[in-house]
Structure 1
Amino acid sequence: MHSPTDTLTFHKSSYSSTDRDCVEVASVTGGAAVRDTQNSELGHLTFAGAGEWRAFLAVARRDSL
């Protein structure tokens, strides 16, 4: 059995710290997927379009999550 994550290629974000605060990002058709590096087995968030991804990044940059 394969999960949707099996077809994604995740890369550690350049914004991840050297501590345990790491996220991984993968490109998906028309958007992006993001997951916690330490808990990748829990799945990922998928953003359907560039607008959703930009909005998420804007909130994350403000530390509002």
Structure 2
Amino acid sequence: MHQLTLTIPEETVLALNVKPEQLQGEVLLAAAMKLYKLSKLSSKAAANASGYSQSFITFTTSKI
């Protein structure tokens, strides 16, 4: 598994209205959904990356 370190400004965290401990999950989900929408990841790969189900990924991305 690869690890990525991001520096996110405090105002971005505040704008997202999430607790700091929830930020990693939010960023992973957003990235997985975007990469799935761009056809860079399959729904299965996006689900694995985000920790959500394939059906959640496909349903949610169909709404955006």
In the superposition, the TM-score normalised over structure 2's length comes to 0.31
Structure showing the higher strand proportion among its residues: 1
TM-score after normalising by structure 1: 0.31
Which of the pair is proportionally richer in helix? 2
